Amino acid sequence: MLKKIGRNDNCWCGSGRKYKACHMAMDEKIQQYKDMGYMVPGRKMIKNKEQLDGIRESGKVNIAILDYIAENIKVGMSTEEIDKMVYEKTLEYKGIPAPLNFEGYPKSVCTSINHEVCHGIPSNDIILQDGDIVNVDVSTIYKDYFSDSSRMFCIGEVSKEKKELVENSKKAVELGISLVKPWHRIGEMGNGIFEFAKSKGYSVVREVGGHGVGIEFHEEPFVSYSCPKESGVLMVPGMVFTIEPMINMGRSDIVMDDDNGWTIYTEDGMPSAQWEVMVAVTEDGCEIMAY
């Protein structure tokens, strides 16, 4: 049970401000929604100004690394070369690659090609071919704050169908951004993405989704993109999470690589695409912290 905080006590968020001048009004509003039956965020999901500033700076590093990859990725490059670029550029910015050794993951970045949905492990044996689509998923620790975003890249001459999948996956994320609104359920955003993907003839992966981020690599809430509008936690200012729907050209079913225990594929072998953006909920919408 949470300890009751007096109006003149320091706020629970760690800002150093008095509760009445910081989160008291928000807490009262959250309680009103809770009384109406909404699922509401715990205090750990809500970041203070200092934390948001730190996550924002980490996000700038993450963006710079992805920009560097965008300038250099090409046909004939191994995914191990991408991993080396991410590792070296992250260290150059005085950051740490968040995936490296996270729960045993062996590399600094995830590189998922064609029918690989996510968590593709870089290797000297995997060479980018003309016509490939590849997701490069970069996550950074900078001054103890975490950031996370990914982009799709079309390698050489890509088929019309794959190109449209990549473009529509990006549109799905941009729709999601527009649907992040304080005092609305997160399911409204997730369902909007699902309906958009469905309207284009695609499916959305159910088992893997977005997540809270900032103080840790993966935090609550889990962000689903195959959910009812009336589901999910209430979005409130100060929450930070990723929007990263995995959109398949074929069916939504996925399988895990039994050999490496990480890489997820489409079960039917059809291509999959994913863009990932990190956002912070604001008073009137959201701030994009990494894209």
Residue 284's Cβ-count burial label (10 Å; 0-12, 13-18, 19+) is: exposed
**Structural domain that includes position 63:** 41-290
pLDDT tens-place string over residues 176-206? 999 999 999 999 999 999 999 999 999 999 9
Q: What is the CATH number of the domain that holds 136?
A: 3.90.230.10
With a cut of 90, say whether residue 1 has pLDDT above it: no
Give residue 132's pLDDT.
98
Give residue 239's pLDDT.
98
Residue 8 domain flag: no
| One-letter amino acid for residue 3 of the chain | K
Residue 47 domain flag: yes
With a cut of 60, say whether residue 153 has pLDDT above it: yes
With a cut of 80, say whether residue 3 has pLDDT above it: no
How high is the mean pLDDT of the chain?
A: 97
pLDDT tens-place string over residues 209-262? 999 999 999 999 999 999 999 999 999 999 999 999 999 999 999 999 999 999
pLDDT tens-place string over residues 109-135? 999 999 999 999 999 999 999 999 999
CA distance 105 to 13: 32
Residue 73 domain flag: yes
CA distance 172 to 244: 9
Strand ordering across the sheet containing 272-273: 203-204, 247-248, 272-273
Residue 25's Cβ-count burial label (10 Å; 0-12, 13-18, 19+) is: exposed
CA dihedral sign, ordered 16, 19, 21, 24: positive
Residue 28 domain flag: no
Q: Which of 178, 180, 172 is nearest to 238 (CA)?
A: 180
Q: Which of 172, 227, 178, 226 is nearest to 200 (CA)?
A: 172
Residue 131 domain flag: yes
Report, as an integer, the average pLDDT of 70-98: 98
Q: Which of 238, 226, 178, 187 is nearest to 29 (CA)?
A: 238
With a cut of 90, say whether residue 2 has pLDDT above it: no
Q: Do 19 and 5 touch, CB atoms closer than 8 A? A: yes
Element (H, E) at 241: strand 240-243
pTM of the model: 0.95
With a cut of 90, say whether residue 138 has pLDDT above it: yes
Residue 240 domain flag: yes
Q: Which of 110, 106, 109 is nearest to 88 (CA)?
A: 109
Residue 70 domain flag: yes
Give residue 4's pLDDT.
80
Give residue 92's pLDDT.
98
Tell how strand 210-212 and strand 219-223 pair up.
antiparallel
| One-letter amino acid for residue 12 of the chain | W
Higher pLDDT pick, 82 / 5:
82
The residue written with tokens 């990480």 in the block is: 262
Residue 78 banded pLDDT, cuts 50, 70, 90: very high
Element (H, E) at 231: none
pLDDT tens-place string over residues 27-44? 999 999 999 999 999 999
Residue 20 domain flag: no
Domain count, the chain: 1
